[in-house]
Structure 1
Amino acid sequence: MHRLILMRHAKTERVPASGTDRDRALLERGHADAALMARVLAERGLRPDLALVSTATRTRQTWDDMHDAFGDVEVRLEPTLYNAPSDIIRRLVQSAEEQAGCLLVLAHNPGIHLLAVEYLVESAASPSVLDKMSGGFPTGACAIFEVDVAGRCAYDGFLTPKAFGGGADE
Structure 2
Amino acid sequence: MQDSAVPAFRLFLLRHARSGWAMPGQRDFDRALDDEGYAEAELTAQAAVDRGLRPDVILCSTAARCRQTAEALCRALGPELDVRHVDQLYSGPTSTYRNLVEAHAHRDSLMLVGHNPMIEELFQQILGAESTAAALGDGYPPAGLAVIDFRARPTPGGIWSASLAMLLVPQPEEAEGR
TM-score norm. by structure 1 comes to: 0.86
User: In the alignment, which of 141, 146, 163 is matched to residue 143 of structure 1?
Assistant: 146
Asked if 1:154 is matched to 2:163, the reply is: yes
1:96 is aligned, of 98, 104, 107, to 104
Q: 1:117 to 1:134 in 2, by over 3 A?
A: farther
Gaps of 5+ in 2: 1-7, 155-160
Are 2:56 and 1:56 equivalent residues in the alignment? no
Identity %: 33
- State the AA in 1 paired with 2:134: D
Instruction: Give the CA deviation at 1:134.
Output: 4.3
> Any stretches of 5+ residues in structure 1 without a counterpart?
none
| Superposed displacement of residue 148, structure 1 | 2.1
Cα separation, partners in 2 of 1:13 and 1:2, compared to 1, 3 Å? same
Tell me: higher relative CO, structure 1 or 2? Use CA pairs within 8 A at least 6 residues apart: 2
Q: What is the aligned length?
A: 162
* Superposition deviation, residue 91 in structure 1: 0.3
Of 87, 91, 97 in structure 1, the residue corresponding to residue 95 of structure 2 is: 87
Q: Distance in 2 between matches of 1:128 and 1:161?
A: 20
Instruction: Specify which of 75, 86, 89 is matched with residue 68 of structure 1.
Output: 75
Taking structure 2 as the reference length, what is the TM-score of the superposition? 0.82
CA distance in 1, matches of 2:132, 2:24: 39
Counterpart residue identity of residue 148, structure 1: R
Quickly say closer, same or farther: Cα 1:166–1:4, change in 2 above 3 A: farther
- Give the letter for the 1:161 counterpart: P
